Amino acid sequence: MINKKLILFFAFIIILILLPFVISGYWLRVLTQTFLFGAIATGSNIIIGFTGYPAFGNIAFFGVGAYVTGVLTTKYNMPFFATLPFCALSGIIISSLLGIPILRLKGHYFAIATVGVMETIKELVDNMTELTGGGLGLTLPIMHGEPEYIYKFFYFVMLGVMLFSLLILFIVSKIKQGYALRAIRVDEDAASVMGINTPLYKTFAWAVSAALVGITGGVYAYWLSYIDPHTVFGGTYPVKMFAMILLGGGTTVIGPMLGAFILELISEIVWSKFIAIHGMVLGLLIIFIILFLPKGIFETFKGGFSFKKLFSNLRENRL
């Protein structure tokens, strides 16, 4: 059973690696965007799905990563790949410092505090005009080469980032520390009684997650070559990320990535056909996921697809 899944997974990866030689232009961009969301959802899942802390504002680290790459490439003429470790580092530093006070909060309060952090960092970036360009945004140096080559370059870099995040998530799910995180999710007090240093493990989970999301932000900045505070901090990113994790199932390793593929590809198809009502459809889709698939698509349809399961999900959480 496990082997079958593994074979399917590697077949999927090989198809993704071979695809750029068949498709081009538009679909390369769409898939790169999908990998971006896959990386964000996978990275954030360490704190959200595994540890059970709804870090709604985790996109803050995406923005920080984007600006670290942006500032380092424009102001200090650093090569792109050299900036990525700094993206990860900035995420780790910020999340560790903030983690000490904020991770004491639970549930709603934690979710809100992370939103507060996100908005505060956004305002700060917006106001540091000399370094970040403020509300005008920051234009990064454009990569040299043929457009087709650049498309392929970012396709593979983003795929690499997503697979790297997936690998880290897989490792975390297997090591002892990963089990500690799950113990915290199920019952934090019990975990603490068992001798798990919960503040340390929670901070560790958040730092790893922040580093991965930060790297994704760095690649995003270089890919689009233009960033401004209002797009990289917030927008619809947090809710899309959450919907992807929920759709795929937050307790699984591969779920968030598959959730990203489903949601982003649906969204792309809707976007290209009905541009005016795209936002409304996205809203309805999220409401639908929460109502009918709160445990994720794979957990719900483990033994095959049926409409009955959708409605039993609906009945389960009713007041």
Nearer to another protein, 73 or 267 (CB): 267
- Based on the number of CB atoms within 10 Å of its own CB, is 85 exposed (0-12), middle (13-18) or buried (19 or more)? middle
Using rule CB under 8 A, residue 105 touches another protein: yes
Q: Are 125 and 1 spatial neighbours (Cβ–Cβ below 8 Å)?
A: no
Phi and psi at residue 139, in whole multiples of 5°?
Answer: -100, 125
Report which of 172, 190, 168, 194 is spatially closest to residue 181, judged by C-alpha positions. Answer: 172
Nearer to another protein, 96 or 177 (CB): 96
Using rule CB under 8 A, residue 278 touches another protein: yes
Report which of 168, 157, 164, 216 is spatially closest to residue 47, judged by C-alpha positions. Answer: 168
Candidate list 9, 15, 279, 306; residue touching another protein; CB under 8 A: 279
Report which of 32, 14, 34 is spatially closest to residue 261, judged by C-alpha positions. Answer: 34
Using rule CB under 8 A, residue 113 touches another protein: yes
Nearest approach in angstroms of CB 7 to another protein is 33
Nearest approach in angstroms of CB 41 to another protein is 13
Candidate list 14, 24, 116, 226; residue touching another protein; CB under 8 A: 116
Please tell me the count of residues contacting another protein according to CB under 8 A: 48
Using rule CB under 8 A, residue 236 touches another protein: yes
Nearest approach in angstroms of CB 142 to another protein is 30
> What is the distance between the alpha carbons of residues 121 and 222, in angstroms, rounded to a whole number?
20
Tokens of 234: 């917030």
Q: Are 201 and 195 spatial neighbours (Cβ–Cβ below 8 Å)?
A: no
Q: Are 214 and 65 spatial neighbours (Cβ–Cβ below 8 Å)?
A: yes
Using rule CB under 8 A, residue 239 touches another protein: yes
Using rule CB under 8 A, residue 104 touches another protein: yes
By CB under 8 A, which span of 22-30, 38-46, 85-93, 284-292 interacts with another protein? 284-292
Residue 226: its H or E element: strand 226-227
Which stretches of the chain bind another protein, using CB under 8 A? 48, 54, 56, 101-102, 104-109, 111-113, 115-117, 119-120, 123-124, 126-127, 236, 238-239, 242-243, 246, 276-280, 282-287, 290-291, 294, 314, 316-319
